[in-house]
Amino acid sequence: MSKDTDTTETIYQFECDNIKGEKIQMSEYKDKVLLIVNTASKCGFTPQYEGLEKLQKDYAEKGFSVIGFPCNQFGKQEPGDSETIISFCDLTYQTSFPLFKKIEVNGDNSAPIYQFMKSQAPGILGSQGIKWNFTKFLINRNGEVVKRFEPKDKPENLISQIEELL
Instruction: List the domain boundaries for the chain.
Output: 11-152
Print pLDDT tens along the chain (166 aa). Answer: 444 444 468 999 999 999 999 999 999 999 999 999 999 999 988 999 999 999 999 999 999 999 999 999 999 999 989 999 999 988 899 999 999 999 999 999 999 999 999 999 877 666 778 999 999 999 999 999 999 999 999 999 999 999 999 9
Q: Which CATH superfamily is domain 11-152 in?
A: Glutaredoxin (3.40.30.10)
Query: Parallel, antiparallel, or unpaired: how do β-strands 33-39 and 136-139 relate?
Result: antiparallel
Predicted local confidence at residue 7, as pLDDT: 44
- Chain centroid offset of residue 6 CA: 23
Lay out the sheet containing 33-39: strands in order across: 64-70, 33-39, 136-139, 145-149
Sign of CA dihedral 146, 65, 11, 89: positive
Segment holding 24, helix H or strand E: strand 23-25
Rounded to the nearest 10°, the torsion over CA 93, 50, 57, 72 is -70
C-beta of residue 117 within 8 angstroms of C-beta of residue 137: yes
Position 8 scores a pLDDT of 62
pLDDT the model gives residue 1? 43
Q: CA 3, CA 55: separation in Å to the nearest integer?
A: 29
The pLDDT assigned to 6 comes to: 45
Output b/e per residue, 102-120; b: 16+ Cβ within 10 A. Answer: bbbbbeeebbebbebbbeb
Active site residue 16: no
Q: What is the pLDDT at residue 5?
A: 42
Catalytic residue among 16, 43, 71, 89: 43
- Position 9 scores a pLDDT of 87
Q: What is the DSSP letter of 73?
A: T
